[in-house]
Amino acid sequence: MNRRWTEADVADQTGRTVLVTGANSGLGLRTAEVLAGRGARVLLACRSAERGAAALARVSSVASGPAPELVSLDLADLSSVRKAATAVRALTGDALDVLVNNAGVMATAKAKTADGFDLQFGTNHLGHAALTWLLMPALRGGTAARVVTVSSLAAVGARIRLDDPNFEHRWYNTAAAYGQSKLANQAFALELDRRLRAAGSPVLSVAAHPGYTTTGLETNTATSYRNPVVRSLILGGARLGDLLIAQDVAQGTLPQLYAATASGVEGGDYYGPDRLFNARGCPTKVRTLAAARNPATGSALWELTAGLTNVTPDPQ
């Protein structure tokens, strides 16, 4: 791999249709902009209609191919996930080439989704897993289709508590909850790859992480806390980290752009920055975590997710 791979290396995407979750800001918005600028038809999946409309206008201004379109999606509400999947299948005629599972919430105060799940586990993992399964018929109808699931460095050292994923029987720890959700993203991507290979499917499941990137999630995290002291501490820590370590959004988006578009990508691959312990730099293939690679964990998470979401896994 060329360690200096940049946005300029993104191949022509003419004729390809891409769905990006969380496309209203940060990594998702940049991903949508770059792919639309290379000729792809981009569907922006956003929770906020207002922010989605602003993102749509921004992506439209750089699109070199079909006009981008907005899809309403709230990953913290499984009824919204089902409606979004139905809308995407109709819009694409069951021909989707790339799904980028990018959206997420980070280190929020304790809260629940519309379906009663921990907000971070429910949004970051359950919502995306359900969406992926529901869109699998469209991905099978695509050309050289890929599912790119975005994990995080926060998965390092995390643990998935299959017996209590929603913190119903243990003390809630915001960092532990976030780490669990991002480890689940990685484990799901690898288990999906195993299932796709076993089914003989040409669809690829890969993962990526942005390293330490200034995405705006820190601000959203801070606003989830009522205590002004906690909010100030979070914002102060984020600013210090941004100053000392963080890279900008354009650089942080490169791993998922590589995973979504580069030649030579294989199912089960994981991409992240190449420098400073994978915190920043150009995209490179990195090693998945042992906990995520464990087939027993992947299979158990797959079954747990199916039971919690009441969505039939695909492939079965």
Q: How far apart are CA 50 and CA 244, in angstroms?
A: 33
Q: What is the pTM of this model?
A: 0.91
- What pLDDT, on the 0 to 100 scale, is given for residue 275? 85
Tokens read off for 291: 């906990």
In the three-class reduction of DSSP (H, G, I as helix; E, B as strand; rest coil), residue 211 is classed as coil
Question: Which residues are bridge partners to 207 per DSSP?
Answer: 149, 270
- What pLDDT, on the 0 to 100 scale, is given for residue 214? 76
**Helix, strand, coil shares, percent, the chain, to 5:** 45, 15, 40
Polymer length in residues for the chain: 316
DSSP H helices, 209-248, are: 217-223, 228-244
Q: How far apart are CA 151 and CA 289, in angstroms?
A: 11
- What pLDDT, on the 0 to 100 scale, is given for residue 102? 98
Question: Catalytic residues, which ones?
Answer: 178
Q: How far apart are CA 71 and CA 213, in angstroms?
A: 26
- What pLDDT, on the 0 to 100 scale, is given for residue 236? 45
CA angle 220, 205, 160 (to 5 degrees): 55
One-character DSSP codes across 143-205: SS-EEEEE--GGGTT----TT-TT-SSS---HHHHHHHHHHHHHHHHHHHHHHHHHTT---EE
Q: pLDDT tens digits for the chain (316 residues)?
A: 545 899 999 999 999 999 999 999 999 999 999 999 999 999 999 999 999 999 999 999 999 999 999 999 999 999 999 999 999 999 999 999 999 999 999 989 999 999 999 999 999 999 999 999 999 999 999 999 999 999 999 999 999 999 999 999 999 999 999 999 999 999 999 999 999 999 999 999 999 999 998 765 454 444 544 445 444 444 444 444 444 467 999 999 999 999 999 999 999 999 999 987 779 899 999 999 999 999 999 999 999 999 999 999 999 8
- What pLDDT, on the 0 to 100 scale, is given for residue 17? 98
Query: How many CB atoms within 10 Å of residue 42?
Result: 31
In the three-class reduction of DSSP (H, G, I as helix; E, B as strand; rest coil), residue 311 is classed as coil
- Pairing status of strand 270-275 against strand 204-208: parallel
- What pLDDT, on the 0 to 100 scale, is given for residue 283? 96
